[in-house]
Structure 1
Amino acid sequence: MAAMALLSPLLPVLRNYYIALKVILQQLLCRAFVLPDLPRQDGKVAFVTGGSRGIGYYTAKHLAKHGMHVIIAGNNEADGNEAVRRIQQDTLNEKVEFLFCDLASMKSIRNCVQNFKAKNLGLHVLINNAGVMLVPESKTEDGFETHFGLNFLGHFLLTNLLLDTMRKSGTPYFNTRVVTVSSATHFNGELNFDDLQTSHCYSSHGAYAQSKLALVLFTYYLQHQLTAEGCYVTANSVDPGVVNTNLYQHVSWPGRFVKWLTGWLFLKTAEEGAFTSIYASISPDLEGIGGCYLYNGQRIKSADVTYNTEVQKKLWSESCKMAALPALS
């Protein structure tokens, strides 16, 4: 019993590293996904969270390159404005702008949506990309565990507040799209409805995996509701793979050293990591198709629990309470 108690906090760590190793091997052995030629998207609007750096930056850049009006949402105004300047310069698309949005604050999310709606724009693609990984135990402004509160609940609220605009923007010929970035670690995630804030026996690895699992469950239940409504909006979840970004800052120093030493060889670049998000956002192959989990540009099966509609519905219901949104009818 004592040995199990000592081993228990290590299990999420070992499981996450096992999954990461499997994905890295797949990346080495399988042909990398190359972004195909995609049609222009002139006149359409995209909203990208975390678009100032990493995967989000290259997602925003490619969408701007395809003619979209791109809104970059982030919590660092200096980084956001610099990203806007660089994207405008590289793509010659002036319709790129920054909106402040701190996903760790529900007040900030609501203010951001209000500022966006004041622009009287449509919304054709929402990419829930921003996130934190393996941060020490901490809470958001509203008292939620940081991984759960920022990675999942912040995007849950943001999506629900923007859905009315997306419904109005969708047509039978072009469904608007919600694209949510998850991770292979969701296969190791466990939802404990009695302790969604992981207040007992905190593990940053477990909390991160739980947040990524919640994002897939949220995507599938959202698609279920959109289908029932008959509206022209789809929702899909994507896995970028193991990518060489700044998200590893909270990994232990030996891990950071190994990543620095070998990341260029074994990990995807941030731009390569963005390819599946871009594909899911504007590829004609996915027109009108939702409820999918995509990796390397392909639809694959996600964790078994993600298809459990009772778990999906329970998470949605609990999330509505936490985000102060109307309950399910």
Structure 2
Amino acid sequence: MLIDLDTLYLTIFLFLLLPRTVFPKQIGRVAIVTGGAKGMGYETARHLTSLGMHVVIAGNSEEEGLAAVRKIREENSKGKVEFQFLDLSSLKSVRQFVRMFKDRRLPLHILVNNAGVMLVPERQTEDGFELHFGLNYLGHFLLTNLLLDTLKQSGSHDSCARVVTVSSATHYVGVLNLEDLQSRSCYCAHGAYAQSKLALVLFSYHLQQKLTAGGFPVTVNVVDPGMVNTDLYQNLCSPAQLVKRPVAWLLFRTPAEGASTAIYAAASPTMEGVGGCYLYNGQRAQSSIISYDEDLQAQLWRQSCTLVSFPVEDYGEN
């Protein structure tokens, strides 16, 4: 079977970036990848499928999702991959997605929170949340919590279930204003995006603390893919677009390269039982100082539960 260039580039990139990493077959394991129809999400989904996982691509475009499934199946005729509709900007859609997934009685070993929007003009979700905060963060917050019981049941202490959340280096400049999480007092697209990515880091660390305290076989890690040439940059202003085009090939990673650290977090044996990490280039890195503030993590968690009407649970009992 011929290997296309994207697969070849990803293989070379993984080898150069993570030379000691061996990704074993993952037969029988089930993964959900949000935003898996294109960009880094697609590359993540296709690679996990090639490892033998049963992959569910979750996205808000049925046309794109089914096209991605067809393409992956063409490359890997034996791969188990499918599409299920999910609109992360709608809490109702998140609940419907989880209900449909659970009705199938499938296990869940890997959840990759990859989908996102960036630098969009001021807009609100159908629930009235600022779009970056509502889709990038709150949608994934609710999705992860609703799937957590399945993740706990699917993991074991020698083979943990894994939550992998894609953040961004932009979180380093993020400011979390608990009094104005919706950026209503003064909207700035870059600030709203940075805040949503910081919120994902804070949420991930706090969730890992809860899971560890309860002794649950689930790990949670955050990945930074670097600067990746994807459709996320389509909302740049025209002058910035003109500057980006000629230098993108030199400064930006391809989607396949950008997906490498998420794949590493999802499938590498070296990450077995390891949680609460911020990963960049397949290595542990330091996230922003504020992201380690446990009081801020707990406050964000409580507010998030209130916003999505989810109970503030005690994870301390197994």
Q: Normalization by structure 1: what TM-score? A: 0.89
State the distance in 2 between where 1:116 and 1:77 align: 16
Give yes or no for the alignment of 1:221 onto 2:237.
no
Q: How far apart are 1:328 and its partner, in Å?
A: 4.1
- 1:22 maps to none
Aligned residues of 2:50 and 2:79 also touching (Cα < 8 A): no
Q: Give deviations 1:174-231, integer Å, cap 9, x for gaps.
A: 0000000000000000011110000011000000000000000000000000001101
3-state SS in 2 of match to 1:299: strand
Q: Is the 8 A contact 2:22 2:269 kept in 1?
A: no
- Asked whether 1:43 is paired with 2:28, we answer yes
Of 93, 99, 107, the residue aligned with 1:114 is 99
Give me the whole-angstrom Cα distance separating, in 1, the residues matched to 2:148 and 2:313: 15
Q: Which residue among 11, 17, 37 is the counterpart of 1:33?
A: 17
Per-residue displacement from partner, 1:103-144 (whole Å, max 9, x unpaired)? 000000000011111121100000000000000001001000
Q: How many residues align?
A: 299
Match of 1:55 in 2: 40
| Cα displacement (A) at 1:32 | 6.2
Structure 1 position 254, deviation (Å): 1.4
Aligned partner letter, 1:191? L
Q: Verify the 8 A CA contact 2:114 2:165 in the aligned structure 1.
A: yes
1:209 maps to 2:194: yes
Counterpart position of 2:6: none
- TM-superposition CA deviations, 1:53-111 (whole Å, max 9, x none): 00000000000000000000000000000000101111223410000000000000000
Measured on the aligned residues, the alpha-carbon RMSD in Å equals 1.2
> Are 1:179 and 2:182 counterparts?
no
Which among 91, 94, 116 is matched to residue 76 of structure 2? 91
The alignment partner of 2:56 has SS state of strand
Is 1:135 aligned with 2:113?
Answer: no
SS class of match (1:324): coil
Stretch deviating more after TM superposition (111-120 or 238-247): 111-120
Q: List aligned pairs for 1:140-219, cutoff 5 A.
A: 140-219=125-204
Task: Provide the C-alpha distance between the structure 2 equivalents of 1:324 and 1:207, rounded to a whole number of angstroms.
Answer: 22
Aligned partner of 1:326 in structure 2 is 311
What residue identity is the alignment partner of 2:234? Q
Instruction: Please state if 1:248 is matched with 2:233.
Output: yes
Describe the SS at the equivalent of 2:82. Answer: strand
Q: Is the 8 A contact 1:32 1:296 kept in 2?
A: no
**What's the offset of the Cα at 1:240?**
0.2
State the AA in 2 paired with 1:107.
K
Asked whether the equivalents of residues 52 and 79 of structure 2 are also in contact (C-alpha less than 8 Å), the reply is: no
Tell me, which stretches of 5 or more residues in structure 1 are unaligned? 1-30
Give the Cα–Cα distance (whole angstroms) in 2 for the partners of residues 290 and 81 of structure 1: 33
Which AA in structure 1 matches 2:17? F
Structure 1 residue aligned with 2:299: 314
Select 2:60's aligned residue among 61, 75, 82: 75
Normalised to the residue count of structure 2, the TM-score between the two structures is: 0.92
Give yes or no for contact 1:64–1:93 (8 Å, CA) kept in 2: no
Secondary structure of the equivalent of 2:259? helix
Question: For 1:116, what is the secondary structure of its paired residue?
Answer: helix
Does the residue aligned with 2:194 lie in a helix, a strand or coil?
Answer: helix
Q: Could you tell me which runs of 5 or more consecutive residues in structure 2 were left unpaired when the two chains were aligned.
A: 1-14
1:242, 1:143 → 2: CA distance?
30
**Whole-angstrom distance in 2 between the partners of 1:234 and 1:99:** 24
Which secondary structure state, in structure 1, belongs to the residue aligned with residue 17 of structure 2?
Answer: coil
1:129 aligned partner, one-letter code: N
